[in-house]
Amino acid sequence: MFQVDFVESNIIITEPYFNFSSIQESMNEILFEEYQFQAALRVNPGALSAHRYFHDNPSELCCIIVDTGYSFTHIVPYCRSKKKQEGIIRINVGGKLLTNHLKEIISYRQLHVMDETHVINQVKEDVCYVAADFYKDMEVAKLKGEDNSLMVDYVLPDFSTIKKGFVKPREEMEFSGKPTAGEQILRLTNERFAVPEILFQPSDIGIQEMGIPEAIVHSINNLPEEMQPHFFKNIVLTGGNSLLPGFKGRVYSEVRKLTPTDYDVSVILPEK
């Protein structure tokens, strides 16, 4: 499948922070005994992002990696390419939780989709965004019909004529409530921004943990005071959730509110 001779190859493989030694040993057995790689490097995902950032910005000595992925969100500070253990924070919120919550909302309000994880994950990626002002957008979402600029119709795939779901052009939306024949449509309004809001307010669904901006500030405050300004101006976002429209701007605005006014704040979302 890979068209690669493992015996003649080296591998870099990511592992969780604070991985158990028993899991590391089992991984070594698989890599060296089953696949017979020449050499293997186990590394935390954030270390790769930090390495790239320091390579592209050689004058910077510190950065804090915000890795918001499928299962968790990790906040990890790095100084001279070495992670600072005292600043590592994990939030038990990731893309999987957002997708599952969106499935529950849609199943309760419109259509049973609890078994359609792949489809709803695509819905999330296509229509969800992070609100700059949650309460302002919530007021817009309460409006009816064409006055509601946030309302979208999402055409679900039938895997026959429609292979992949898509957002219906607004000029083709039926505000009279009569759906187009042959199409299965989800009408989404506040779901679009209420679901990603969990990244910033996990308590909205009963998870008693900090949101991402608060965790960033808490992580930096755990570090020596003289180093803190360098981390605030080098906040690096990575992971699938960071691609949500509005995510970068919201992180910046929330962190800025929680940061001393004499500190510069900069949030970076690498292009690749």
Query: Looking at residue 1, what is its pLDDT?
Result: 63
60 within some domain: yes
Kindly report the pTM of this predicted structure: 0.91
How far CA 156 is from CA of 113, 149, 151, 182, in Å, comes to 11, 21, 16, 11
Residues 122 and 178 in one domain: yes
Of 183 and 187, the one with more pLDDT: 187
In this predicted structure, the answer to whether residue 91 has a pLDDT above a threshold of 80 is yes
Identify whether the C-beta of residue 260 lies closer than 8 Å to the C-beta of residue 113: no
In this predicted structure, the answer to whether residue 272 has a pLDDT above a threshold of 80 is no
Give the domain CATH number at 114: 3.90.640.10
Residue type at position 11: I
Kindly indicate the confidence band of residue 18, based on its pLDDT and cuts at 50, 70 and 90. Answer: confident
Residues 152 and 101 in one domain: yes
Residues 30 and 101 in one domain: no
1 within some domain: no
Residues 121 and 175 in one domain: yes
Kindly indicate the confidence band of residue 271, based on its pLDDT and cuts at 50, 70 and 90. Answer: confident
Element (H, E) at 220: helix 212-221
In this predicted structure, the answer to whether residue 180 has a pLDDT above a threshold of 80 is no
